[in-house]
Amino acid sequence: MQMKKQHVELSEQDRLCIAELLSKGSLNIRSTKRALGLQMLDKGLTYLKVSEHLGISNLTVSKWATKYQEGGLTFLTDKSRSGRPTRLSGKDLAKVTALACSKPPAGYSRWSVRLLADYLVELKYIDAISHTKVADILKKTNYSLIERNNGV
């Protein structure tokens, strides 16, 4: 007994849409793999063959097929994720930048991100902050401690 191939049958409109999206090259890698996977399934390839070709599990390919059948091409793009909410207000961010622009404390020739983080907490500007978060804040404002400390 021969097993029936597992596949998805795309509508003509979806075939054209996928072909156009792939030709533009504007999709991220996840979306590109999903689109290619649908194309291969539409051509009659099995979940296993598609998974081997794309370097993913056949369970993932199976999920893609189900998602396409349930909602069409909308699954090609990731839904936005809420992520962790920011705990710092605009005023808090301004305090970080203002302190970085100020003269370093006595005994220090320049600010470092660790020193800034420690002083922000010590001065009770912010309840808690890591040195990496301070670096991220300064990076987003295009503020460079290196340039500032070298007198540029």
Closest CA to 129 of 139, 117, 116: 117
Using left for φ > 0, alpha for ψ between -120 and 50, and beta otherwise, residue 62 falls in alpha
Q: How many CB atoms lie within 10 A of CB 137?
A: 21
Pick 12-76's CATH classification: 3.30.1420, 1.10.10, 2.30.29, 1.20.1070.
1.10.10
Confidence of residue 122 (pLDDT cuts 50, 70, 90): very high
Task: Tell me what pLDDT residue 39 has.
Answer: 93
Task: Tell me what pLDDT residue 152 has.
Answer: 43
Average pLDDT over residues 31-57: 92
pLDDT at 132 over 50: yes
Task: Tell me what pLDDT residue 6 has.
Answer: 57
Q: How many CB atoms lie within 10 A of CB 54?
A: 17
> What would the pLDDT profile of 63-119 be if each residue is shown by its tens digit?
999 999 988 888 888 777 777 777 888 898 899 999 999 999 999 999 999 999 999
d(CA 40, CA 49): 9
Q: Where are the domains of the chain?
A: 12-76, 90-147
